Amino acid sequence: MKKVICAIVINKRRNKILFVKKKDIWILPGGKLEDGESDEECLKREFKEEIRVIPFGQLRFYKKFIGKTPHSETLVLVKVYFANINGRIRPSAEISAAEWIDPWMVSYGYKVSRITERIINRFLKEGINLGD
């Protein structure tokens, strides 16, 4: 089973989470883990390639999820972290857009992958404060 590493990046001033658009689907930033790569190395590489910023500080592990990728329907193990970023987000590579979105509204106005929706629903159910 392939492993995917992604991050919940919170904008505490706006109480929103960063989402990226790949093809026509909104997902959390991150990507597939390459051989010999640590989770942190994967996130740094994917963020640099996709949104041209690199996470800083310590990553905080959140949870693991099993689901299908939105485009290939391949079963993957997704490890989710909390990450911080600085700098101007500029979508590149296969990312066509990046937006700070209210997690309560993401399912209403955006086409979100099923695994991303599960992650966000769990996050909201647990009542994690966006301003913490």
**pTM here?**
0.92
Note the pLDDT tens digit of each residue in 11-63: 988 889 999 999 999 999 999 999 999 999 999 999 999 999 988 888 999 99
Q: For residue 91, what are the CA distances in angstroms to 13, 51, 68, 115?
A: 22, 4, 23, 21
User: Tokens at residue 22, please?
Assistant: 């790949």
The fold of the 2-125 domain, in CATH, is: Nucleoside Triphosphate Pyrophosphohydrolase (3.90.79)
For the chain, the structural domain boundaries read 2-125
